[in-house]
Amino acid sequence: MKILAIGDIFGRPGREVFRDLLPVLIREHRVDFVIANAENAAGGRGLTPKTADEILESPVNVLTAGNHIWEHNTIHPYFDSHPILRPHNVNAALPGKGWGGFAAGNGVRIGVISLQGVVYMSEKGHLAENPFHSIDKLLPEIKRQSDVVLIDFHAEATSEKRALGWYLDGKVTALLGTHTHVQTADEEVLPKGTAYISDLGMTGPHGSVIGLDKEVAIHRFLTGEKRKFKVAEEGVTIDGVLIDVNEKTGLSKSIKRISEKI
């Protein structure tokens, strides 16, 4: 089976390129299941009911998130009624759930987990439990219910992502990094069958500073002054990976980067 994983959808440009190119990619690659990170879909920070509805009109099976998912309180009720996951390893009292079970069109049971890193993430709020300990406790339950297990690991440090990838090699289908908005060139199937990439990249305006208008970002670095947040508009691209999975073993056969402009 083919799984398409899409990197952070950023603002209106990201939503638009996702809407326009996702059906094309699904047809071209005969995709069976789609996962996308949407934590920056509303103006570059968080997710709202309106933006969630817009994204979910496309043929996507589940949305994952990260540390910005609680920016808009209005999205909280959607966690119980829509296929939207927040990081599993944060305070359990926070709204939402961190994993879910889904079915592909061919009846394969797919478990999807959203995790958050801890290295360099403390200043971003919503402190997370050690992701290694968290996944150790969660994985046995998910594997009893799933043929395929996918993890969106929303983390800052490449070292943390690489370490978790090696730790879970052979235990999950794929460990997919998000958060830094720059697609990495280290995609591989690890020796025991887990597909890995440090960052899926960003679905949005690449003519930017990780989504932010270039001039706003440069001014901040030059002066320290925070100007009004402005989503960039140039170089709109959809980033992600295509994973070929052996649904009988739950392991990956190949992983290929995708980066397509409008």
* pLDDT tens, position by position, 181-194: 999 999 999 999 99
Helix (H) or strand (E) holding 109: strand 109-116
Burial 16-54 (b: 16+ CB within 10 A, else e): bbbeebbeebbeeeebbbbbbbbbbbbbbbbbbeebbeb
Q: Which amino acid is at 71?
A: E
Report the pLDDT value the prediction gives residue 105, as an integer from 0 to 100.
78
Confidence of residue 122 (pLDDT cuts 50, 70, 90): low
Report the pLDDT value the prediction gives residue 71, as an integer from 0 to 100.
85
Report the pLDDT value the prediction gives residue 67, as an integer from 0 to 100.
86
Q: Which amino acid is at 192?
A: K
Report the pLDDT value the prediction gives residue 239, as an integer from 0 to 100.
98
Residue with tokens 């992600």: 240
Q: What's the whole-number average pLDDT of the chain?
A: 95
Partners of residue 2 on adjacent β-strands:
244
Partners of residue 99 on adjacent β-strands:
113
Report the pLDDT value the prediction gives residue 126, as an integer from 0 to 100.
60
Across the range 140-148, mean pLDDT stands at: 96
Partners of residue 63 on adjacent β-strands:
36, 84
CA 205, 31, 139, 83 torsion-angle sign: positive
> Which of the following is catalytic: 68, 179, 181, 206?
68
Length of the chain: 262
Report the pLDDT value the prediction gives residue 31, as an integer from 0 to 100.
97
Q: Are 147 and 247 in contact (CB under 8 A)?
A: yes
Report the pLDDT value the prediction gives residue 68, as an integer from 0 to 100.
86
Q: Are 4 and 18 in contact (CB under 8 A)?
A: no
Separation of alpha carbons 243 and 174, rounded Å: 8
Q: What share of the chain is helix, strand, coil (3-state, %, to 5)?
A: 25, 30, 40
**Each residue's pLDDT tens digit, 182-232:** 999 999 999 999 999 999 999 999 999 999 999 999 999 999 998 888 999
**Each residue's pLDDT tens digit, 78-115:** 999 999 999 999 988 889 999 999 999 788 999 999 99
Q: Is 17's pLDDT higher than 90?
A: yes
| Domains along the chain with CATH numbers | 2-261 (3.60.21.10)
Report the pLDDT value the prediction gives residue 257, as an integer from 0 to 100.
98
Across the range 65-70, mean pLDDT stands at: 88
CA neighbours within 13 Å on the CB side: how many for 168? 34
Report the pLDDT value the prediction gives residue 123, as an integer from 0 to 100.
53
> If DSSP codes are grouped into helix, strand and coil, which group holds residue 163?
helix
Report the pLDDT value the prediction gives residue 81, as an integer from 0 to 100.
95
Confidence of residue 245 (pLDDT cuts 50, 70, 90): very high
Is 68 labeled as catalytic in the residue annotation?
yes
